[in-house]
Chains A and B, each alone.
Chain A
């Protein structure tokens, strides 16, 4: 066995301030009013949520705003059962890609309001295509987590 010497403790603390800009800013403002805003590409007509400043496919400005439904269907889900940096809630929790009605991409968020103690029971409850709706936090911070989670309809 190689001899192990001590380690030198060293901490780096680096706070960042990301400019939100007008498009993400309007989306965040919508969350504070319990509204979910997307926007529509003038060329391909896709409605994207969260909204973007330009269409990732057509590369044109996305300037038409659309308030989208707060309900949709689960496309994919996972049960995360480990603690990780920046986790929105303590594990276990369900992360999911959710297709809100009449939108053209999946929204990444969490599904809440369920007992997650038994994986098999969870697998029986949550299937691809199952309907979910938004649940809001009482206190708003102008942040993605103003949307507390999605719950089964």
Chain B
């Protein structure tokens, strides 16, 4: 699988409503931060990879050109990667490939979104099939609420149990976010407040849904030789996997979907993982909706199908539990979409190198990051480890 690859540093903006700066200024904030974090000089970078949601999100097409200077991309290998919600993990894959193949020794990988500048919901509506389906999907919440119901039905999970488990995730993640310097929503909620927040698309309620966020995440991917020369403890890429699924909503059951399952299996095989619940120390599941996080715990093999809600309520996936999930507060509290899945990777890298700060999971050595896009159609998984 090519040369070993490490993530050697992370730079993030303060995520939130960032109308205090222009978009290039926001990009520069994270890029400067990753150089500061790693001690790498921009001149030493072989290439830059950047991605975001489609151009209509912020109204400037192919905006890596717009950010050429802020990204320090001038005169370097300079590419864009864009795959919907999975953009961030596709960016990480692209960085990995460039180093693993020998094309580069140090690559700057950046994802971003400045969602308050446009109409994110309208932008995302254009992902849906235009002839038959676009009017009816009710945006991402519409599709994922149907998927959530299908999941409850398929495994005969009582609605009250799913509802309680989803509410617990929301409560826990909002507490987690308060420990994360860069998180967007830092506010506590009670179980009752989550369960009685306004219905967006039944069964998904307001506090089951991620926010609209402005933010940038920058990381540097390095070859073994470079990683060993630099100051930070490296986080090694141990496995990667990605799967796509059919386009039409309604053609296939996406509860037990080959996309997240196949992506995880591929990554586990490469990383030599046979029992994820026992072997992984933490996970950053791409969780724009609480119910989706529960479903993906099952898809990723953390438990049997239909069991995630019970285990969640027992605390298995909470801070201090057997396999803490989204200890950063996750997508549920911070969602600058083009950066979101890269933040999952960056968070896992920080965790396994013991540098996650206030939300560090003690002793984390092996971690799973995931990205989810479309209507469950794209899923990517990356495993990060503290040892080569």
Q: Which residues of A contact B (CB under 8 A)?
A: 2-5, 7, 10, 12, 18, 20, 24, 48, 50, 56, 75-82, 84-88, 95, 97, 105-110, 119, 123, 128, 144-145
Cα–Cα, bound, A144→B136 (Å): 10
B244 CB to closest chain A CB (Å) equals: 12
**Knowing A108-B132, A144-B131, A145-B135 touch, does A80 contact B248 (C-beta < 8 A)?**
no
B160 at the A/B interface (Cβ < 8 Å)?
Answer: no
Contact of A119 with B202 in the complex, beta carbons under 8 Å:
yes
Question: Which residues of the partner chain A approach B19 to less than 8 Å between Cβ atoms?
Answer: 4, 7
B139 at the A/B interface (Cβ < 8 Å)?
Answer: yes
Contact of A128 with B122 in the complex, beta carbons under 8 Å:
no
B162 CB to closest chain A CB (Å) equals: 14
Question: Which residues of the partner chain A approach B121 to less than 8 Å between Cβ atoms?
Answer: 84-85
Question: Top 4 A-B pairs ranked by shortest CB distance?
Answer: A106-B250, A85-B122, A2-B20, A80-B138
Q: Which of B142-150, B184-192, B300-308 contacts A (4 or more CB under 8 A)?
A: B142-150
- Choose among B130, B135, B146 the residue that contacts A97 (Cβ–Cβ < 8 A): B146
**Knowing A105-B251, A106-B250 touch, does A82 contact B146 (C-beta < 8 A)?**
no
Cα–Cα, bound, A108→B117 (Å): 31
Closest to B159 in A: A123
Complex interface bits, B135-178 against A, C-beta within 8 A gives 1, otherwise 0: 11111011001100110010000000000000000000000000
Question: Which residues of the partner chain A approach B20 to less than 8 Å between Cβ atoms?
Answer: 2-5
A52 CB to closest chain B CB (Å) equals: 8
Question: Which residues of the partner chain B approach A76 to less than 8 Å between Cβ atoms?
Answer: 146, 149-150
Cα–Cα, bound, A73→B86 (Å): 34
Cα–Cα, bound, A47→B149 (Å): 25
Contact of A78 with B142 in the complex, beta carbons under 8 Å:
yes
Contact of B56 with A12 in the complex, beta carbons under 8 Å:
yes
Known: A78-B201, A80-B142, A119-B199; 7 extra A-B contacts, CB below 8 A, are A48-B251, A84-B125, A85-B139, A86-B125, A97-B250, A105-B248, A145-B135
Q: Which residues of B contact A (CB under 8 A)?
A: 19-20, 56, 59, 117, 119, 121-122, 125, 130-139, 141-142, 145-146, 149-150, 153, 198-202, 246-251
Contact of B130 with A18 in the complex, beta carbons under 8 Å:
yes
Contact of A86 with B119 in the complex, beta carbons under 8 Å:
no
Question: Which residues of the partner chain B approach A105 to less than 8 Å between Cβ atoms?
Answer: 248, 250-251
Contact of A107 with B248 in the complex, beta carbons under 8 Å:
no
Closest to B135 in A: A88
A90 CB to closest chain B CB (Å) equals: 13
Contact of B137 with A95 in the complex, beta carbons under 8 Å:
yes
Contact of A81 with B137 in the complex, beta carbons under 8 Å:
no
Cα–Cα, bound, A109→B137 (Å): 8
Cα–Cα, bound, A80→B137 (Å): 9
Closest to B123 in A: A85
Cα–Cα, bound, A71→B194 (Å): 38
Cα–Cα, bound, A80→B200 (Å): 6
Question: Which residues of the partner chain B approach A110 to less than 8 Å between Cβ atoms?
Answer: 136
A23 CB to closest chain B CB (Å) equals: 10
Contact of A85 with B125 in the complex, beta carbons under 8 Å:
yes
Cα–Cα, bound, A119→B135 (Å): 22
B130 CB to closest chain A CB (Å) equals: 6
Cα–Cα, bound, A54→B387 (Å): 48
Cα–Cα, bound, A10→B117 (Å): 10
Cα–Cα, bound, A4→B122 (Å): 25
Question: Which residues of the partner chain A approach B136 to less than 8 Å between Cβ atoms?
Answer: 88, 95, 108-110
Contact of A81 with B200 in the complex, beta carbons under 8 Å:
yes
Question: Which residues of the partner chain A approach B131 to less than 8 Å between Cβ atoms?
Answer: 18, 20, 24, 50, 144
Question: Which residues of the partner chain A approach B59 to less than 8 Å between Cβ atoms?
Answer: 10, 12
Question: Which residues of the partner chain A approach B135 to less than 8 Å between Cβ atoms?
Answer: 86-88, 144-145
